[in-house]
Structure 1
């Protein structure tokens, strides 16, 4: 049976497939831009600050003084997108995608397969996962007849709603282990939290395995069969193979753009630096946002081979960072208003009053997931939440590293219904956010209670570790 023949086989439609299709049809409506959610959050926080007695002048000053404080972190997160994209579209990686697309044989198998690849690759980099899985979904849609373009598009996005924040591109975990990126006011509360207390714990591994298995199963069970699927042809989409651009230098000045000489020099320098760093500090201690991005950029340079290919890919990636560049300053402004008005202390006391040592992870998990609807940003939202969440954890003697993971796991859930992080994938596949929302909402409904229960149960296994303050 060939790939094309496999897609024509009639497949039994189960209840999840019917629910997924119904939600997909219902969700074909407009979504507001993610920037609107961030702006609404600014208004809410400022109104709350005014209600606490701050004057408009004081609120405006708090907002403006803090507006640019996240510039280093904003650039770091932008380079997560750029580095991930550049690596994903490198010629050797694209050839790997084409080879991987030959594996699945049926529509449901293809959707589950794309889901697994997307989730697994998101542990390495959410930026890489979006592009890598997006290209894979395109290839699969071309090869297998009867694949529902909404289901396979959602499958390519699943890493962003399930486990990405538990992996190596976790903005909160990498921020907290990078002293220079932590705002001074937050550093006084938490100190530096190494990755050995967050990502590299057995509790985090348990969450990754459970969520990956559950999410792939939901993708498989909810996918419509070939007889009822909405295909790319029905949607008016056409995924044509991109013609390889074979450029040649037209002037002597362009010769170096097509030569790997400069690339190799920079790559060798980068490898020497990383080798020395890891030899001195060890792999875990040396991993932070700067070194993470550095490694991705060096790998991208090597795989593109020539400066011309590398720059062309980077040029396509930069527009995808627009949302990060415009929204992160708003999050910094919100942080300034929270701290300046004393709202952080009020919120910390509130969570302490309604929680115990055992229940704080569950309570914060619910709160962080809900807040994520309005602040769709892994790192930016953590800057807003961290001061009062970690202060409450200190008061209730809850492990600070676990609270970072609580935030990571819960914050990813609203990504299933917020279009902000879908943008690079939407641009690559040509679909709209409403096309994916139905199947992603189904994922949210099933995964959310599982995540919250694990946050509570696994949190009971970790002792409190007092922060080492500067």
Structure 2
């Protein structure tokens, strides 16, 4: 079901002029409603392209098929970690104290455009903590604002703003999959660890250059979201789109049988929380907090513990987890295909013993200098990210050859990770894969919001590439540090 805006005008029925960015956003949205496919289509195309590339490189069809099947299940632990990032973010964002915060924020804006700007700011700020939290928090805030009929807020623009955490800033924050992987020797494949060594957060997301890019993207994104949002006369509200944004009624049922008492009692919550906090204290005591939080297992454990405490009663916690699980469906079905793509890139070799990955590595080194590397890697990562929209999964595909090239060209390895991070987020703005959990909350289709997010992409792309190139000159290469 697509949602097509109805023509609207001013008090006299005459069309109301919109700004240039607003008109572009509306036109892009109209195009997307007609032509934009489902997320699974993109990963299927990527599989076909890589298979054809391996075939063109001289690998046999049998070898390609074998690598596809052998690699299919190779990222299951990482797949579950990514699923739990979504679940943890959902559980925290739907807890009553966070819901109360959302209600207070929703009372602030005085106009529809101001509401869209607020959603953009809130989702990007939360993305520095967790991309999973940003998706759910942004979606719930957009719904809360849509309940305010006095704002005349364009629901599509608000939905696009709620996605900016994934499209602009998440990879510059604590949940950056590539930075987390590189900071933990145990998480890296041995062949990649030999190339990059361990790269701590202090050399990636906590570089002042990285934080500068994050601030620039934060400001630019809010401005674009505000300016491009249709005014009250042209706004397409949730009501006009047939989307029910009414608040879900809280569960007020009380235990009627002894078997239900513990489900409603906070006693088990407190006991589990004591154990969890005890483990977390030990983890943070034995190492720096940067190292501790950079572990995906610790990171997810922290969010689940926080969600358990915020929901207070086991029944409420489990109800929230149950609602979060459907949002992980795309992760669970598509990540095995990314693993298969990785295997086809590195596995099948031609008669000369060369894989597709080897060919790409050679091209990177032969076509680049230290100065041009950030731009070429940024463009390549952005294009590849359109077909493989997973920060961590794609890093495992891309890192072996781009980081080897960075070593040979003597590019700061931590900055190479951040080049990847900043560029990798760009295609998220138009790839529907990570939109799915958000769209489930909003009750929209990807085509409803991608027109406005595409407008963000057009402006972000040159800004990001320029900053990645210019700031690279402020850093010096250091050889890999082995654990």
Query: What is the TM-score when the length of structure 2 is the normalising length?
Result: 0.93
For residues 301 and 206 of structure 1, what CA distance do their matches in structure 2 show? 35
User: Can you list the C-alpha shifts for 1:190-213, whole angstroms capped at 9, x where unaligned?
Assistant: 122211111111011101100000
Indicate whether 1:280 and 2:286 are aligned: yes
For residues 124 and 371 of structure 1, what CA distance do their matches in structure 2 show? 25
Q: Relative to structure 2, which stretch is displaced further, 210-219 or 458-467? A: 458-467
Aligned counterpart for 1:221 among listed residues 223, 227, 248: 227
Aligned counterpart for 2:147 among listed residues 115, 122, 142: 142
Deviation, structure 1 residue 309: 0.5
Q: Relative to structure 2, which stretch is displaced further, 442-451 or 144-153? A: 144-153
Corresponding residue for residue 85 of structure 1: 90
Corresponding residue for residue 5 of structure 1: none
Indicate whether 1:442 and 2:455 are aligned: yes
Indicate whether 1:300 and 2:313 are aligned: no
Indicate whether 1:58 and 2:71 are aligned: no
The secondary structure found in structure 1 opposite 2:33 is coil
**What does 1:135-284 align with in structure 2 at a 5 Å threshold?**
135-143=140-148, 144-284=150-290
For residues 30 and 275 of structure 1, what CA distance do their matches in structure 2 show? 51
The secondary structure found in structure 1 opposite 2:477 is coil
Deviation, structure 1 residue 247: 2.3
Contact 2:110/2:151, CA 8 A, preserved across alignment: no
Corresponding residue for residue 452 of structure 1: 465
User: Can you list the C-alpha shifts for 1:313-354, whole angstroms capped at 9, x where unaligned?
Assistant: 001111111111111111112212222232222111101111
Indicate whether 1:95 and 2:100 are aligned: yes
**What does 1:352-371 align with in structure 2 at a 5 Å threshold?**
352-371=365-384
Corresponding residue for residue 339 of structure 1: 346
**How large is the RMSD of aligned CA atoms in angstroms?**
1.7
For residues 238 and 60 of structure 1, what CA distance do their matches in structure 2 show? 46
Contact 1:72/1:181, CA 8 A, preserved across alignment: no
Contact 2:374/2:469, CA 8 A, preserved across alignment: yes
Deviation, structure 1 residue 134: 0.6
Contact 1:331/1:383, CA 8 A, preserved across alignment: no
For residues 200 and 387 of structure 2, what CA distance do their matches in structure 1 show? 29
Contact 1:189/1:469, CA 8 A, preserved across alignment: no
Change (3 A) 1:36 1:13: closer
**What does 1:305-454 align with in structure 2 at a 5 Å threshold?**
305-340=312-347, 341=349, 342-454=355-467
Matched length? 463
For residues 333 and 184 of structure 1, what CA distance do their matches in structure 2 show? 18
The secondary structure found in structure 2 opposite 1:420 is coil
For residues 401 and 90 of structure 2, what CA distance do their matches in structure 1 show? 34
Q: Which runs of 4+ in 1 moved over 3 A?
A: 8-13
The secondary structure found in structure 1 opposite 2:268 is helix
Deviation, structure 1 residue 359: 1.0
Contact 1:34/1:376, CA 8 A, preserved across alignment: no
For residues 172 and 338 of structure 1, what CA distance do their matches in structure 2 show? 19
Deviation, structure 1 residue 12: 7.3
Contact 1:150/1:436, CA 8 A, preserved across alignment: yes
Q: Where does the alignment leave 5 or more consecutive residues of structure 2 unmatched?
A: 1-9, 350-354
Contact 2:311/2:317, CA 8 A, preserved across alignment: yes
Deviation, structure 1 residue 427: 0.9
Deviation, structure 1 residue 11: 9.3
Deviation, structure 1 residue 30: 4.5
Aligned counterpart for 2:298 among listed residues 273, 291, 315: 291
Query: What is the TM-score when the length of structure 1 is the normalising length?
Result: 0.95
Corresponding residue for residue 7 of structure 2: none
Q: Where does the alignment leave 5 or more consecutive residues of structure 1 unmatched?
A: 1-7
Contact 1:111/1:223, CA 8 A, preserved across alignment: yes
Indicate whether 1:104 and 2:147 are aligned: no
For residues 85 and 429 of structure 1, what CA distance do their matches in structure 2 show? 14
Contact 1:160/1:415, CA 8 A, preserved across alignment: yes
Change (3 A) 1:337 1:142: same
Contact 1:277/1:286, CA 8 A, preserved across alignment: yes
The secondary structure found in structure 1 opposite 2:251 is coil
Deviation, structure 1 residue 367: 0.8
Q: Relative to structure 2, which stretch is displaced further, 73-82 or 277-286? A: 277-286
Deviation, structure 1 residue 22: 2.2
For residues 14 and 63 of structure 1, what CA distance do their matches in structure 2 show? 49
For residues 141 and 96 of structure 2, what CA distance do their matches in structure 1 show? 14
Corresponding residue for residue 3 of structure 1: none
